[in-house]
Amino acid sequence: MLSLIEQWRKEVLGPTCRICSGSCCSYNFQLTTSQVKLIFGEEVLTLVPGDITERNKHLFNYRGEPLVGNRIGDTYITQFDGEDFCPQFKEGRCAIHEHPNRPDTCKQYPIYVDLEKRTIEFHDYCLATGLPKIAGLCVKALEKSYQVSYIFNSENITRNRIEEYIRVKYLRDDCLK
């Protein structure tokens, strides 16, 4: 299954990313202390209560409090509103895309796979996860007894839904091969 997903990332996600406006960089995700330093800069960890700046206004600790102080080991959460972006989203691209400490959420986006539970979840807001672009991958996952769904609307993607989409859009049957 992972090889099919990597092929999809290369053939579908890659070209789509080049025309996207950064939906992957404008939603909420969790960060470790080292990832906070990488993304927001080390200085945000030394701020005191009330020091909310343009650079850290979207960063909170795991309790939902504005980030203050340097608490090693905490989990931090970003809270973007869909209009603001991660500070590393520059000129339409992720400036730390190749960095080894880039958050796992970023590395996996827009498809999250749990091999143990046999589930695949697609992030709804990515241009590459519309049904036309994921139909072939979904059919192969369903054939391997994976449960496939979208994250936010929690709607399961079934073979019947894919076949209905194909009938309505008059697509050829060979797109599922």
Kindly report, residue by residue over 98-120, the tens digit of the pLDDT.
888 888 888 888 888 888 999 98
- Residue that is written with structure tokens 């929690």 in the block: 154
Which residue, 108, 115, 90, is CA-closest to 39?
Answer: 90
Length of the chain, in residues:
177
- pTM tops 0.75, yes or no: no
Q: Which position has the higher pLDDT, 45 or 72? A: 45
The gap between the terminal CA atoms of the chain, to the nearest Å, is 15
